Amino acid sequence: MEMTLQDERPQQLLMGNEAMGLGIVEAGCTLAASYPGTPASEILASVVAFAKETGAPVHAEWSVNEKVAFEVALANSMTGRRTAVSMKQVGLNVASDPFLRAAYLGVKGGLIVISADDPGPHSSQTEQDSRFFAMFAKVPVLDPASPREAKEMVRQALELSEKYELPVMLRPTTRVCHARQNVPCGPVALKDRPARFEKNPGRWCATPQYLRELHRQLNEKIENIAGEPGFAPLLTAGDGSHPGKCIVSSGVAFAHTWDLLSEMGLLGRVDFYQVTMPYPLNRDFVGRLASGYQQVLVLEETYPVMELQLAAAKVQGRGSKTVPGQGELTPDVLRQVLENFLALPARPPMAAGGGEATRPTLCAGCGHRAAFYAIRETFPNGIFPSDIGCYTLGLNLGAVDTCHCMGAGISQAAGFYHAYAAGGEEVPPIVATIGDSTFFHAGVPALINGVFQQARFILVILDNATTAMTGHQPTPEVGLTAAGEPGTPVFIADLVRACGVRFLRECDPYDLAAFSGILQEAEAYCRSPQGGVAVVIARHPCLLDRDARQAQPSFVMRVTEDCTGCRHCLDDFECPAMSLDEATEQVVVDAVRCIGCGVCVQVCPAGAIAAVAKEPS
């Protein structure tokens, strides 16, 4: 388990997610399923790439959501084959139903559940800790400190999973997923295991009469795993200069603490444990901490999972408020904690950056910008529930009022309608927005519910023909599999009709007038006696797709002398290629950032933006 920086095997520079993808292929998994989400997205793409490179026969899929991914993966494991399922931490919320029951019923072929946490958080709705989820489910969890450990732990997790017939979680964090490191690469273990499903209704259909016994078996497994010597914490022993004290850490907080202690000349001066399996904690280790130390400092992200299991010892950590209760444990946060715990003179903290960070924005030419602009201009007093994806950036245009979790925008639109309508109040225009991939993920049941419950609102499905935010994974409508092979496309319009929607229009939002006209028509339908949910599919491909960008006409944009400096295009259209020249008080277009989509011509109230067709180069 000890990870040294020296290794004779050939090395590759790999991102943590790539390292786990390679680990999945090397360990002989025959199926990998996932739904994209930062910071986990690159794992499945790497499985595809490494399987191709090594000729390993792996079925890799972008499932429609994490629950589905988990269930597909579980069945592969039930036939005795090694399996991986990966997702971001809030994806595990979606997959929680099959995940919790899988702990009771167990698995056959090794099943690794990778749930990537996002302390900070950098790109998530919460900074929840998947290790707590593992503890709640009574599933062991491994916590890697680096890309190379993450890869090694994929193999260990699968072996542990097979030994105990239990799913095993691997919990990397953003700083492991998106770190790059030199990683040793080994041979691929081609597991020659045919798929054999053995029927066992008492287990695979377990009715309540069986579950108490299955729960007993689960408890027994966890107890035995807490005694597994291969997963006991690793000690870097001190020299007695800090008697009665020790530091316990896991995940990337361990790596940062290692670097800090090394820099402070304290490595090898104080007992320092790396916990590789935060749940279940090794039983002997818990005993040793309780009897061997007066003060124990626990450094972990993001919730006090180990600290709570160590309640018998004199522990300090996030729960005791010795360590900040929220946020990432960066080296700068950890340094102060270590200085206090080891009673060292404090180094004056460095002043953090004073400058204003640039906020993210929809790309120049993004079809979502046109759609949001039209929605907000058409319904200045509307309520705009939205969802998760690039289009959450519609916030910047005042066209996104809520962003909760995958699919929630549609259900919230229905809830807003009932809130106003049931009280007999005038219902404001309600326009929900959702991306194509998110619609497939969790929007369909919400739409069925909205129609059936007779809500009245407009749903705009922003169809850019990809899952853009997470790196352009194909959606079911695109009809390409994760490996880039043709699949069977499922069309959004067909789904919308099948959900019982009676008003459906499709439009390219680049034509602002036409799009706005359709929105008004949709609003009239909602308010008509037979009205209900109106759906508008706003189609414009993501222009980060080179081919899509080259396929559309491009213009040279020019701001004329008629510009009054009114800022409408800057504040309400928010194109990153436009800014105000403070000397002339007129708008200027940055020719490098502008992609020449020409939509802003329709936005300027003074008619001061001109588009000239580009000479073909």
Under the rule (CB under 8 A), what is the footprint of another protein? 5, 11, 13, 15, 38-39, 41, 122-123, 145-147, 174-175, 178-182, 252, 254-260, 263, 330-332, 335, 349-363, 390, 392-393, 469-470, 576, 592
C-alpha 602: how far from chain center? 36
Q: Are 58 and 29 in contact (CB under 8 A)?
A: yes
Helices of type H across 191-317 = 201-204, 208-225, 251-263, 283-292, 305-309
Q: How far apart are CA 524 and CA 516, in angstroms?
A: 12
Kindly tell me the sign of the dihedral angle through the C-alpha atoms of 286, 288, 292, 296: negative
Closer residue to another protein, CB minimum distance, 146 or 433? 146
Exposure letters 134-152 (e unless 16+ CB within 10 A, then b): bbebbbbbbbbbbbbbbbb
Closer residue to another protein, CB minimum distance, 260 or 608? 260
**What is the nearest approach in angstroms of another protein to the Cβ of residue 266?**
14
Q: Is 251 exposed, middle or buried (0-12, 13-18, 19+ CB in 10 A)?
A: buried
Kindly tell me the sign of the dihedral angle through the C-alpha atoms of 393, 398, 403, 408: negative
Q: How far apart are CA 70 and CA 95, in angstroms?
A: 6
**What is the nearest approach in angstroms of another protein to the Cβ of residue 21?**
15
**What is the nearest approach in angstroms of another protein to the Cβ of residue 142?**
17
Q: What is the dihedral of CA 431, 434, 435, 438, to 10 degrees?
A: -170
128 backbone dihedrals φ, ψ, rounded to 5° = -60, 160
Query: Shortest CA distance to 509 belongs to which of 518, 499, 521, 496?
Result: 518
Closer residue to another protein, CB minimum distance, 9 or 359? 359
**What is the nearest approach in angstroms of another protein to the Cβ of residue 339?**
13
**What is the nearest approach in angstroms of another protein to the Cβ of residue 305?**
20
- Listing DSSP states for 284-325 in one string gives HHHHHHHHH-SEEEEE-SSS-HHHHHTTTS-EESTTTTSS-S
Q: How far apart are CA 510 and CA 367, in angstroms?
A: 6
Closer residue to another protein, CB minimum distance, 513 or 583? 583
Question: Which 8-state DSSP code applies to residue 203?
Answer: H
Q: Are 23 and 44 in contact (CB under 8 A)?
A: no
Closer residue to another protein, CB minimum distance, 357 or 513? 357
**What is the nearest approach in angstroms of another protein to the Cβ of residue 591?**
8
**What is the nearest approach in angstroms of another protein to the Cβ of residue 446?**
23
Closer residue to another protein, CB minimum distance, 343 or 352? 352
Closer residue to another protein, CB minimum distance, 388 or 604? 388
Closer residue to another protein, CB minimum distance, 167 or 576? 576
Token reading at 509? 């939002």
**What is the nearest approach in angstroms of another protein to the Cβ of residue 383?**
23
**What is the nearest approach in angstroms of another protein to the Cβ of residue 534?**
29
Closer residue to another protein, CB minimum distance, 335 or 505? 335
Closer residue to another protein, CB minimum distance, 77 or 181? 181
Q: Bridge partners of 33?
A: 61, 85
Q: How far apart are CA 416 and CA 411, in angstroms?
A: 9
